[in-house]
Amino acid sequence: MAIKWFPGHMNKARRLMSETMRTIDVVIEVLDARLPASSANPLLAEVRGQKPCIKVLNKADLADPQVTRLWSEFFERQHGVKAIALEAKKHTSVARLQKLCRTLAPHRGVPGKPLRVMVVGIPNVGKSTLINTLAGRAIAKVGDKPAITKSQQHIDLKNGIVLSDTPGILWPNLSDQDGAYRLAASGAIGDTVMEYKEVALFVLEYLSARYPEPLKARYRMAQLAETPMDTLEEIGRRRGCLVSGGEIDRHRAAEILLFELRAGQIGRISLEGPPVMGEEATSLPDQEKTPDSTVP
């Protein structure tokens, strides 16, 4: 099943971002640290032009720290781009972010010349949470469903910085279906346009190859089954996802797997690695990961 999703208000968001960009000093793009490429706005580089950009790798506590470090190094090699891994809810993290913004626009942030920062990001990457933490109060609506923010707003942080918040943007042409499935796995795509079982099978194939030990540990399996479908059924069996006749409720098993993946209960998992040699790739370091991986 091909995944396609594009709420109508996002057309307006695209226009607003282009119009507002002319007055912006620094752009903050909020990405999901577990899938930085798939959660990126594909047209942002074109729209921002030469404006300095900070790639915020949010939810870094859920991602594989080694892979996050590789992503940070990858972004830092791009012109006018800085990268920072953080947890949007932590005030210590966003304090570092504000300092970085000031470094990128040292001529702004003084009386009469506020530092104008645009915050962009696709649904469910934590953009609203980051804005609320920066503001020190609940300004942007936060929810666990995609496409919560639907209108633009300007927020004066009262410290020389003014934020411009844009609605979550996800482009309609999800031609990279692997990327679309990663987004679905992370919760960035609405439930009504995804098939839980198919997304779960995609995730299980990936985890079996890259993170077999955390997967086995979470579901107490000595060995993984031969196929992703067999593994999904074993998870369902172990979690009591049974229907009449003793059949496995695969949909329910898939829901459990995706919920626990999103909550970080399987371990610190990255769903893609940075491009290699200018080619789009999802390769990760060739070593098995354990649930208790820590940031180097």
Mind listing the pLDDT tens digit for each residue in 127-149? 889 999 998 877 755 544 444 44
What's the CA angle centered on 168, arms 165 and 170, to 5 degrees? 145
Q: Does some domain include residue 14?
A: yes
The answer to whether the CB of 207 falls within 8 A of the CB of 215 is yes
Residue 201: pLDDT band with limits 50, 70, 90: very high
| Closest of 260, 274, 158 to residue 217, by C-alpha | 260
Residue 257's CATH number: 1.10.1580.10
pLDDT (0 to 100) of residue 128: 86
Task: Tally Cβ neighbours within 10 Å of residue 244.
Answer: 5
pTM for this predicted structure: 0.84
Over 50: is that where the pLDDT of 126 sits? Answer: yes
- Asked whether residue 84 falls in the same domain as residue 217, the answer is no
Residues 54-104: pLDDT tens digits?
Answer: 999 999 999 999 999 999 999 999 989 999 999 999 888 888 999 999 999
Residue 83's CATH number: 3.40.50.300
pLDDT (0 to 100) of residue 147: 43
Distance CA 30, CA 118 (A): 11
- Asked whether residue 21 falls in the same domain as residue 88, the answer is yes
Distance CA 225, CA 206 (A): 14
**Beta strand spans in the chain (E):** 26-32, 53-58, 81-85, 115-120, 153-156, 161-165
- Asked whether residue 235 falls in the same domain as residue 112, the answer is no
pLDDT (0 to 100) of residue 207: 98
Beta-carbon contacts of 185 under 8 Å, excluding residues fewer than 6 positions away, are 199, 202, 203, 258, 261, 262, 271
- Residue 179: which H helix or E strand, with range? helix 177-186
Range of 128's domain? 9-165
- Asked whether residue 134 falls in the same domain as residue 252, the answer is no
- Asked whether residue 148 falls in the same domain as residue 255, the answer is no
Residue 122: pLDDT band with limits 50, 70, 90: confident
As given in the structure block, the two tokens for residue 167 are 């609605």
Distance CA 239, CA 242 (A): 9
As given in the structure block, the two tokens for residue 40 are 């990126």
Over 60: is that where the pLDDT of 16 sits? Answer: yes
Residue 217: pLDDT band with limits 50, 70, 90: very high
**Mean pLDDT over each residue of the chain, to the nearest integer:** 83
Domain count, the chain: 2
